[in-house]
Amino acid sequence: MTTRRTLAVLLVTGVALTGCGGTEEETTEAAGAAEDYPTEDIRLLVPYTAGGPTDIAARALAAHMESELDQPVVVENAPGASGATAYQQLINAEADGYTLSMTALPTAVLNYLSNEVGYTREDFAPVGVVTQVPSGILVPADSPYQSLEDLFEAAREDPQAVTVGTPGATNTHAAETQRITALYDVPLTVVPFNGNAEVQTALLGENITAGFANLSQDILPAIESGDLRVLAVGSPEPLPYVDAPTFVELGYPELVQSTTTFGVIAPAGTPEAVVQTLEDTLRSATEDPQVVGTLDERYVPAEFIGADGLGELFVETEETFGDVLGD
C-alpha cells in the first residue's frame, strides 16, 4: 500500500468520522478499507471506443453498479492496441478496486501472447463475465456448400479452394481457423478483415468462400433474412436463436474456443473482499432485467460466471492458443 492511497483512505475515513461525530476508533487498515468499499468514485476503463458494444455494455453495467454500490462509476474509454492501452492503465493503478477494466477474451490473451505489451494474466484479478458472444462459420445464401463437411471436403481436395474471412488478425476467429487446419488437417486460408461488417460484405459479394465471425447483433439480421447461412456454431451447446449444429455435434469436440467473452478485471493484488463485492454486484447486474435488456439476453450467460470462472477462462485460452501461435 502506498502513501497516496493511505492518505486517501485517511482522508475519506476522517471525513466520515467527522460526519458521525468522531467517536469511533480510526480504522485505516486495508481490511477495514475493503470492508467499507467503495467509499469513492470507481473508474471503469473500456478498451474500445465509445458507442461500440463493449462501451454500451460497460455503461449499462456502470449504471447498475452506481445504484448498487452507491458511489459514482465513471466509464473511461482508452481504446487502442487490442486493449493494451487500457490494461496498461489498469495495472499501473492502485490495486484497491477503484480502477477496473472491461476485457474481451481471447483478444486480450492473444495480444500478450504475441506482442510485448508489459503484462500477462498474472497482472489481472478477474472479477466476472458480463456477456459471451458465440461465433459461427457462415457462407453466402447461394454457396454450393450445404454443410460444414462439404466445405471441409472441398478444402481437402484443393488446399487453395477455401478462403475464410475473419474480423481481424489477432482475434479468436483467425486463431480458431488455424486450429481447424492444425487439428483436423483441413487446409483453410485465413483472410483477415477489419471487423464483422467487412466480413459480412465480403460474404455477400462472394469474395470469400466462408466467414468465421461473431454472431453478434449486427450480423443476425442477414442470417434471419437468409442472405447468409450458418454451417456451424462455435458454442459448446446449440444456440436457441441460430438454426445450426455445433462443431461438437459435427464431430469436432475441440472447436469450442471461438466465443468472445466480455468480462471485468481488476489489477492483481486487489483485496479479496473487494473482488467479492464487485463479483456480487456483477452477478446482480446479470440478473437485473433492465441491464440484461441492454446487453441483449441472448448473450448473457444463463449461469453467472464469476471471478474463478473468468480466471479459468484466461488459463484455458492461453493453453489453447499458445500452441497455434508457436512462440
Partner 1 sequence: MDSWSGILQGFSVALTPTNLLYVFIGVLIGTVIGVLPGLGPTATIALLLPITYTVEPVTAVILLAGIYYGSMYGGTITSVLLRLPGEAASVVTTFDGYQMAKQGRAGPALGIAAVGSYIGGTVSVLGMILLAPPLAQLAVSFGPPEYVALTVLGILLVTYLGTGSVLKSMSMAALGLLLATIGLDPITGTARFTFGEVALFNGLDFVAVAMGLFGVGEILHSLERTDKVQAVTSKIKNIWPTRKDFRDSSGAIGRGSLLGFAIGVLPGGGGVVSSLASYAMEKRRAKDPSRFGKGAIEGVAGPETANNASSTSAFIPLLTLGIPPNVVLALIFGALLVQDITPGPQLIEQEPEIFWGVIASMVIGNLMLLALNIPLVGIFVQMLRVRAGILAAFALLVTMAGVFSVNNSVFDMWVVLGFGVIGWLMKKTGFEPGPLVLAFVLGSILERAFRQSMLLSGGSFDIFVTRPISGGMFAFMALIIIVSAITSRRRKAVFGRVDPADVDETDEPDRDADRQVSAEGSPGADSTTDEPTGSTSTTPGER
Q: What is the DSSP string of 17-38?
A: HHHHTS-SPP--SHHHHHHH--
State in angstroms the smallest separation of the CB of 79 from partner 1.
Answer: 6
Nearest CB to partner 1, comparing residues 80 and 238:
80
Least Cβ distance, residue 114 to partner 1 (angstroms): 6
Alpha-carbon span 219 to 197, nearest angstrom: 8
For residue 318, what is the enclosing H or E element? Answer: helix 307-325
Using the minimum distance from each CB to partner 1, give the nearer residue, 77 or 101. Answer: 77
Closest approach of partner 1 to the CB of residue 116, in Å: 6
Are the beta carbons of 91 and 123 closer than 8 angstroms?
yes
Question: Distance (Å, rounded) from C-alpha 244 to C-alpha 218?
Answer: 18
Omega into 126 within 30° of 0, i.e. cis? no
What span, in angstroms and rounded, lies between the C-alpha atoms of 65 and 277?
A: 11
Instruction: Tell me the closest approach of the beta carbon of residue 231 to partner 1, in angstroms.
Output: 20
Tell me the helix, strand and coil percentages in the chain, rounded to 5. 45, 20, 35
In the bound complex, what is the minimum distance in angstroms from residue 90's beta carbon to partner 1?
Answer: 12
State the cell numbers at 76: 473511461
> Closest CB to partner 1 among 36 and 76?
76
Q: Which of 302, 285, 264 lies closest to 67 in space, CA to CA?
A: 285
**Shorter beta-carbon distance to partner 1: residue 170 or 294:** 170
Q: Which residue has the cell 459514482?
A: 72
Distance in Å, CB of 89 to partner 1, minimum: 9
Rg (CA), the chain: 22
User: In this complex, which beta carbon is closest to partner 1, that of residue 129 or of residue 174?
Assistant: 174
* Closest approach of partner 1 to the CB of residue 5, in Å: 23
**DSSP-derived secondary structure for 37-49:** ---S-EEEEESS-
Which CB atom, from 6 or from 49, has the smaller least distance to partner 1?
Answer: 49
Write out the H or E segment, with its range, that includes residue 280: helix 272-285
Nearer to partner 1, 207 or 290 (CB): 207
The residue ranges that bind partner 1 (CB under 8 A) are 49-52, 76-82, 84-85, 88, 110, 114-118, 160, 163, 168-170, 174, 189-195, 197-198, 200-202, 204-208, 218
* Shortest distance (Å) from residue 130 CB to partner 1: 18
Characterize the bridge pairing of strands 163-166 and 42-46.
Answer: unpaired
Q: Which residues are 136's β-sheet partners?
A: 213, 233
Whichever of 31 and 325 has its CB closer to partner 1, that residue is: 325
